[in-house]
Amino acid sequence: MTGRCNQSMKSSQKIAVIGAGSWGTALAGVLSGKGLTTSLWGHNPDFVELLRRENENKKYLPGFSFPPNLSLSSDLVTTLQGSSTVCMVVPSHGFRTVFSRIAPLLAKGTLVISAVKGIENESLMTMTQVMTEILGAELQTRDISLAVLSGPSFAKEVALGMPTAVTIGCDNIEKAQELQRIFGTERFRVYASRDVIGLEISAALKNIVAIAAGISDGIGYGLNSRAALITRGLAEIKRLGVTMGADPVTFFGLSGLGDLVLTCTGDLSRNRTVGLKLGQGKRLSAILDEMEMVAEGVKTTISVYDLAGRLQVDMPILEQVYQILYQDKACSVAVMDLLNREMRIE
C-alpha cells in the first residue's frame, strides 16, 4: 500500500476512517498514501493492537503495509480528534450504533462520507438518511455535510494501485468537489455528483443482483443468462431509485452500471460468491459461516424487499432472491418462475 498513490497532497488536514475491514483499510491507504494524516478505527481493541503489531491487516487485506502516517485506534475520541473529514466504512447493520457514538464528537463543519453499500433493515433508510435522523437539527447548527462514495471498487485492487474510478455525491456540489480533491489520486479517479439517493440505491441493490448472477452461474447457466440478469437487474434498480427521487442518469454511471457489472462478474465479489454457492446447492447458513467478511446483499435483500413492497415497485429478481434466501425456495424453481412470467414490452 505504501507508495501506491503518487499524487502528493501534503496537508495538516486529518481524516478519520471508521471501520477496519478490507474497504476501510484500502481507503485509509489511499488517503495516507497521499500524505494526509489518517486515522483508522476498529471496534475491537485486540484486533487493532494486532494490526499495529503486524503493520498490516492480514485478516481482511493481507500483503499491504500501512503507510507511516496512518495511525490505528479503537478509541473514537482519539480517532476523531482534529478530524475535518470522517469516512464511515462499517457494515450497514452496525452503522446506526457506531454513528450514534460518533455524532456528539463531530466538530463544526465536518464532512462525513459514507462508503457503505446497504440499507438498514428496521428503518429501510440509506446510511445518509440514518445520519440525518441521528444528527437532527445539529446537522444545520454544526454545519455538518453528508456525502456518499460509491462505484466499482474492489478493495484489493485499490490497495494494489490498479486504476479505479468512483463517484462522490453530496447535495452541496461544492462539498462533493472538495471531497473529490481529498480522495482523488492518479490511480483513484473521483467524479462528483449531487444525486446522493441515486448513488446509495445503486450501491445497495447491485449486491442483490450479484447474488442472483452468482446463483445463475452456480447452477451452470451461461453468459446469456448472466447478461439478462444484469440488464433486467439494472432496470429494477432504476425503477426503485427513480421512485425515491433519484436522477435516472445516475444508474448508467459508475455507481449504477459500473458497480453492477463488477459485482456480478468479478471473482472478488462476496455477494456473487454467496449466489454461486447457493446455485451449487449449499445452504445460506453454511455459506455465511465460511465467510470472513460481510456480504451486504444478504441483509439488504430484506430491506429492499420491504421497501419495494411499501413503495409498490415491481422487482421480480429481488423477489426471487428474497424467496431463495429467506423462504428456502429452490434456485432452479426461482429461475423458471422468472422466465415464465408474463411477456412484457421492454
Identify the burial level of 6 via C-beta atoms within 10 angstroms of its C-beta, where 0-12 means exposed, 13-18 middle and 19 or more buried.
Answer: exposed
Contact criterion met (CB below 8 Å) for 168 and 188: no
Residue 33 cell numbers, joined: 498514501
d(CA 320, CA 203): 20
Q: Which residues on adjacent β-strands are paired with residue 168?
A: 149, 192
Identify the burial level of 103 via C-beta atoms within 10 angstroms of its C-beta, where 0-12 means exposed, 13-18 middle and 19 or more buried.
Answer: middle
Cα–Cα–Cα angle for 344, 304, 337, nearest 5°? 40
Unique residue bearing C-alpha cell 465460511: 290
Residue 270 cell numbers, joined: 462476496
- The phi, psi pair for 202, rounded to 5°, reads -60, -50
Residue 336 cell numbers, joined: 423458471
Contact criterion met (CB below 8 Å) for 86 and 111: yes
Instruction: Single out the catalytic residue among 14, 206, 238, 277.
Output: 206
Q: Which residues on adjacent β-strands are paired with residue 253?
A: none
Question: Where are the alpha helices (H) located in 8-91, listed in sequence order?
Answer: 22-33, 45-54, 76-80
**Does the annotation mark 299 as catalytic?**
no
- Give one DSSP letter per residue of 198-220, joined into a string: HHHHHHHHHHHHHHHHHHHHHHT
**Residue 70: strand, helix, or coil:** strand
Closest Cα partner for 7 from 149, 179, 154, 182?
182
Residues shown for the chain: 346
- Give one DSSP letter per residue of 123-145, joined into a string: T---HHHHHHHHHTTHHHHTT-E
Active site residues: 206
